[in-house]
Each structure stands twice: as structure tokens, then as C-alpha cells.
Structure 1
Amino acid sequence: MGMASHLLIQVGGIFNISMGILLSWYYMSLICACFLLAHCLTVSTLHESPSFLAVKGRDEGALKVLRKLRGSHVDVHEELGYLQKQNKTTDDTQGCRGLLQKQHLQKIGLMSGIFFIHNFCGTQVLRMNATRQLQQLGLPMDEKFTTILVIVVLFFGNFFMTTILDCFGRRRCIMTSLMVVAASYISLGTFIYLWDTTPSLIDPQKDELLKFAYSVQNATLTDVIAEGSAILSVKDWLPLVFLMCAAFGHSMGIGPLVWLLPPEMFPTSLRSQGTSVCMVIGSLQTFTILQLFSLMQATLTQAGMYWLFAGVAVAGIFYIYFLLKETSGTRVG
């Protein structure tokens, strides 16, 4: 259920970009505004969480919501008693003061590190700047089509992770995704570095080089042009493959799971406050990496930026392995 929202985010992204191909920004802004209005109206009809009502001592409200959710044939009083037992807490651990306790500060610190890995291994950069990255790779493909392709890969990565999440657990999914991300970015950075620094011996657009290759290799002109076209085709599609592998790696673990972990780490009495603090820290980091994107490309070069993402992903594997406890299947209230 927690992953359903991430799947729908990808569906919304595909819809948004697809409509943007057909419509101008003026019409797209109106459509998005209508969706926003519908969302606000829908949220106003949602029920409050029974667990939250039980923690706050609003038993009648919790029973009313449980009856609507479970039906008249279920003993909701028994479930309410279970919720009260699961979320039994003392007054001094509720509210923002509870976050100052050592165990909760440690959780916030842990999640800050995970969000750092999430942002600085290129997750948000790929989501927000996919078109720019594809442009800078020099792919002779339609930018809108390739951007949709990236989001489709993100969707299938999320869907794949949803099917294996309970079997493999949070830690294994995140570590596996970081391995895929690291391998993809190392390969992409190395390819860009070698292609930019190694002079091409064959350029079918220059007659002088064609003549030179013809005289040196004693080959026919047709063979030289065919060989040059084959080399160019590799440069065209291979970076896209590496980028798609990185997108799949992001979406099968480190991308969506950072948003799923905070609610599983805090009890109901502190879940809203603890999750909100973690989200604010993660959002500030996202803002930082997006603002540094152009600067990193200028100072580190494009290959160096991808190597940086890969290095953060490798460090993240050890961070998750040694510090993150598995939350899959545990009861958090």
C-alpha cells in the first residue's frame, strides 16, 4: 500500500509529459490546476486514521471510522483495544518533545544519512533533469520520447520492487538498487570519459579522414562509411542503456523506499512529527543537489559527476548494511 502512491506518481509523470507533447503550456497548466482542485476536494472526504484517534483518546471517533472501514460484521471494539495496546505510550513521549529523546534523534540522524545517499547518488537529478541529461549525452533521439522512456523505466522499477519488497526486505532492496546504480554510473562515466578523450579515427562526415582511412586500411569507401556509422550508433544508444539501468536501479529501492522508511521508524504518537522532520531534511537536500547540478557538471565534468554519484552509491551500500535495521514485518503501531 505504501508503494501504491509511488507507482501512481510515475503514472502521473507519464501522463503529464505525454499530454505536454500534444498541448501547450497554457492548457497543461489548466489541466494540472483541475487535478489539484480535485485532489483537495477528495482529501477533505478522507477518514482520520483510527490509530491516530486511538492514541489521542478519541475512542468514539475511532470506532466510527472502524465501522465504516470494516463493516457491521466485525467486532471493532476488539480492534480498538488492540490499537490502544499497540500504541500505548506515556504523555512525555507525545508531541514534538518526544523527538528530543535519544532513540528518536538517532532515527532522525539515520534518515538524514539515507536521504543524503538518496539525493547525492543522483536519484532526484535523474527525475528532475532527465531531459537535460539526455541532451548533454548528445543522443539523436526525440527528447520528449526519451524522457517518457525514463519515467516508464522508473514505473516498472517501482512495480518490480513492489513484488519483491516483502520477500527481500527494505535493506536488501536498497542495497541491491545501490549496486545497480553504482555499476550503471561507473559505466556511463567511463564511457563518456573515454569517448571524449579518445580521438575518433573514423568520421564519415569529413572527406579528408575518409580518404586517409581508405588509403591506410586499403578498404573500400563503403566499408569505411559503414564502420563509422556502426561506431556512431554505439555512441548513440549505449549511454541511454546505462542511464536506463541507473533509472531502474533508483526506482527499485533507494528512490521510493526513503519515503516509506520514516513512518515505519516512529510510533504513532510521534509518527507525524518524526516523518515531517525527516521529509524537511530530505527536501532541503533535494533542493541543494538540484541547485548544484550545473556547478558539478562544470567543475567535475560530466563523467566526474556520474562517478561522484557512483561513489556515493558505493558508500551507501556500507551505510545501509551496518546502520539500517530491517523494518519489514515489524509492528510499529
Structure 2
Amino acid sequence: MLIIGHLLLGVGVGYANQSVPVYLSEMAPAKLRGLLNIGFQMAITIGNLVANLVNYGTNQIKGGYGWRLSLGLAGVPAIIMTIGSLLLPDTPNSLIERGHREKAKTMLQKIRGTNAVDEEFQDLVEASEASMRVQHPWRNILQPKYRPQLIMAICIPMFQQFTGINVIMFYAPVLFKTLGFGDEASLMSAVITGSVNVLCTFVSMFTVNRFGRRVLFIQAGIQMLISQVLIGILLGIKFGVVGVGSMPKSWADVILILICLYVAAFAWSWGPLGWLVPSEIFPLEIRSAGQAITVSVNMLFTFLIAQLFVTMLCHMKFGLFFFFAAFVIMMTIFIYLFLPETNNVPIEEMTQVWKKHWFWGKYIPDEDVINHVQLAQGKVVV
């Protein structure tokens, strides 16, 4: 029953991760896209915190049935999500693709709060017409002109997992117990890190449009690197290569603080931006395929990290934190060199951003940019 339940849960989570970021990116105006899309990650962090609180509470129940209550309560958000999805309107992009242009324009006017949407609506129509000429999005996403988006769809979700965040969030109670916290104290420590995750995701919501994606990625990368290196050093001093030793409470508290600093950095960078950036960079004709790749890669590496963590911890011990720190260095350099700033750029104009990039520009044909500009100016009729 547990295996079947996990399989069904996986299907549901996969569908949600595929559809929600794209839905939010299509509904939000460009200047608010970052803020609203990070609401997706905010919901995840709140869910993680509530789950930790539920686990902490049900662990106090005598009789051995607390875990059943913990699993059963997971049905509550599922019910809310199901009912809520029935009340959501279709995005203007979706309505246009299905031939309901008048409904799409009405919806666009409604969500923008103004009737002056002709220019944006025309961009959506032209993007839809271009996408309809693409018969095989999975084949077309392999074309050189989509190379930047394809690389980002693979690297960003992969790097998100190799920050090591799931080691902390999935195995926090086990990790804290290993560091010397008791059973209840380890669960409470997991609640603390979950709370930090929620609070700092709020930070991301209100800074992502002000400072941009790249600044948050790079600053958080430096903060996560320092935290992980210091944690690795402290664990190495106390436990050594044999992994045996004791840790004073003061040291354990310092490590808890460093873990909270690490979680904070992730919460305002790779956590929300790992979903936001891929959802906003794909042109309409390959958007569904691109988001599917993003979600699949994310879930694949989530699975791999979850399966390998205990074995890696047993063999690498404190070196595990240096392992993830090395990836943080790589991903921060990757962002600095290869990700252009996408803040305040309408989705339909993202091609021009890639064309101006020092590396990706060679993959974008000049005619793609020229045609888009002419279409936007009404000089070309599709």
C-alpha cells in the first residue's frame, strides 16, 4: 500500500511541478513574474514546515499509530489543491492555442486590470501562431537555436539538487541526532530549519524583482559555500575520518546556526529561482517540453540524492559537505558565465536576451530576432 501510494503521489507531484510554474509565468505580468512565481516555492516551504510540525506532534502520540495520522493528514492539502484547480481560469496563452481568442483577450484584460492590452495580446497571438507551426516540440527543442534553454532546463534543476539541500531537509532529524541532539531535539531542529526556509523564501519574493536573478544566485552561492566548508571543518575536527566522537552542545549549536545560514541562502536563491528561471525562458512552441525536462531532471536527481545520501555519509563522513561545496562553486561560476538576466523581460521577448549573450548569441539566428521585432512592430503579417 505504501509503494502504491508513493507511486500515485509521484504522479501528482510531477503534474503539479510541470503545470504550476508555467501557469504562474503565463498569468503574471513581466514586472511581477518573479514575485508571483516564487509563491510556488513558498507553498512548498510552508508545506515542508507543516509536515515537520506534524511529524513532531505525531511522534508524541503513544500507541504506535502516530505515523498513520501523519500520512493521512497529507490528504488535506491534496483535497484543497484538487478543489482549487477546478476554480482556476485558463491562461490567455492556453485559450489562444485552443482557438478562443475573444475569451483570451477578455481574460488578459481581467488579469491585467485594464483594457489596454492590445500590444501584449498581439504578442501572445503571434507566439501562438509560431508555436502552431512547430509540429514536434520534443524534436525541435534539440535544434541549435534552443540550445540555451535546453542546457538551462537540464543544468539548473540538476544543480539545485547538488546544492545538498535535500540532504538537510530530508534527513535533518537523522543528521541532527548524529550530531548529538536527542530524538525530540532533532525533530525540533528540523522544524527550526524549516522555519528559516519559509522566512527566507519571503526574502526572495520581495528582492527577486529588485535585484534580479543573477545577484541572488551568486550571493547565495558564496554564502552556501562558506557555510558548508565550515560545517565540514567542524565535523572533521570532532569526528575525524572514522566518524566516531562526541560533540559539545556549544559546537552542535554552532553547526545548527551554520545549517540555518545555508538553508537561508538556498531559500532565497536556488530554491525558488530553480523553478522560476526555467519556467520563464522557453518560447511558447517548446514551453511544455522544456518544463517537462526541467521537472524530470529535478525529480531524477532528487531520487538519486535521497538514495545515495546515507551511503555517501557513511563513506565520506564530513567530506560529504566538501563534496556539495565543490558543486556550489561550479554552479555559481555557471550562473555567472552563462545565465543572462531575465528580470522584467516579457516571455515573448526572451529570444533577444539570449541573442545578446556573449556565448549563447551564436546559437540564435539573426532572422529569429529580426522577425520577432518586426512582428512586435506590426510590420510583418504572419
Q: TM-score range by the shorter chain?
A: 0.7 to 0.9
**Which of residues 77, 80, 85 in structure 2 aligns to 1:43?**
85
User: CA 1:127–1:236 in structure 2 vs 1: closer, same or farther (change >3 Å)?
Assistant: closer
Letter in 1 for 2:308: L
Describe the superposition over 1:118-175 as per-residue Cα deviations: whole angstroms up to 9, x where unpaired.
1122022222222122122223561221111011111122111222111221111111
* Alpha carbons 2:153, 2:290 under 8 Å: kept: no
* Alpha carbons 2:37, 2:276 under 8 Å: kept: yes
User: CA 1:56–1:101 in structure 2 vs 1: closer, same or farther (change >3 Å)?
Assistant: farther
Gaps of 5+ in 2: 1-35, 59-65, 349-382
Letter in 1 for 2:282: F
Letter in 1 for 2:100: R
**Which of residues 133, 158, 166 in structure 2 aligns to 1:116?**
158
* Alpha carbons 1:52, 1:269 under 8 Å: kept: no
CA shift for structure 1 position 197: 3.9
Residue 147 of structure 1 is matched in structure 2 by 190
**Structure 2 matches for 1:192-231, cutoff 5 A?**
192-197=235-240
Per the normalisation by structure 1, the TM-score is 0.82
CA shift for structure 1 position 294: 1.1
Looking at structure 2, the residues matched to 299 and 152 of structure 1 have their Cα atoms a distance apart, in angstroms, of 30
CA shift for structure 1 position 88: 5.1
CA shift for structure 1 position 189: 0.3
Structure 1 residue 74 corresponds to structure 2 residue 109: no
* Alpha carbons 1:121, 1:308 under 8 Å: kept: no
User: CA 1:92–1:67 in structure 2 vs 1: closer, same or farther (change >3 Å)?
Assistant: closer
Describe the superposition over 1:250-278 as per-residue Cα deviations: whole angstroms up to 9, x where unpaired.
11211221111111110123212211112
Structure 1 residue 100 corresponds to structure 2 residue 116: no
Q: Which has the larger radius of gyration?
A: 1
Per the normalisation by structure 2, the TM-score is 0.72
Residue 160 of structure 1 is matched in structure 2 by 203
User: CA 1:107–1:69 in structure 2 vs 1: closer, same or farther (change >3 Å)?
Assistant: closer
**Which of residues 25, 32, 41 in structure 1 aligns to 2:74?**
32
Q: CA RMSD in A?
A: 2.5
CA shift for structure 1 position 107: 1.9
Residue 136 of structure 1 is matched in structure 2 by 178
Letter in 2 for 1:15: V
**Structure 2 matches for 1:1-333, cutoff 5 A?**
1-23=36-58, 24-66=66-108, 69=111, 74=115, 80-85=121-126, 89=130, 91-93=132-134, 95-140=137-182, 142-197=185-240, 232-301=248-317, 303-333=318-348
Looking at structure 1, the residues matched to 46 and 156 of structure 2 have their Cα atoms a distance apart, in angstroms, of 25
Describe the superposition over 1:217-265 as per-residue Cα deviations: whole angstroms up to 9, x where unpaired.
xxxxxxxxxxxxxx92322311111111111111121122111111111
Gaps of 5+ in 1: 204-230
Identity %, equivalent residues: 22
* Alpha carbons 1:114, 1:258 under 8 Å: kept: yes
* Alpha carbons 1:54, 1:80 under 8 Å: kept: no
* Alpha carbons 1:52, 1:268 under 8 Å: kept: no
Letter in 1 for 2:283: P
User: CA 1:53–1:123 in structure 2 vs 1: closer, same or farther (change >3 Å)?
Assistant: same
Residues paired across the two proteins, number: 300
Which stretch shifts more, 312-321 or 49-58?
49-58
Describe the superposition over 1:162-210 as per-residue Cα deviations: whole angstroms up to 9, x where unpaired.
2211122111111111111110010000011112249xxxx9xxxxxxx
* Alpha carbons 2:231, 2:258 under 8 Å: kept: yes
Looking at structure 2, the residues matched to 47 and 309 of structure 1 have their Cα atoms a distance apart, in angstroms, of 41
User: CA 1:128–1:63 in structure 2 vs 1: closer, same or farther (change >3 Å)?
Assistant: same
Looking at structure 2, the residues matched to 170 and 44 of structure 1 have their Cα atoms a distance apart, in angstroms, of 32
* Alpha carbons 1:171, 1:325 under 8 Å: kept: yes
* Alpha carbons 2:180, 2:249 under 8 Å: kept: no
Looking at structure 2, the residues matched to 99 and 6 of structure 1 have their Cα atoms a distance apart, in angstroms, of 26
* Alpha carbons 2:131, 2:286 under 8 Å: kept: no
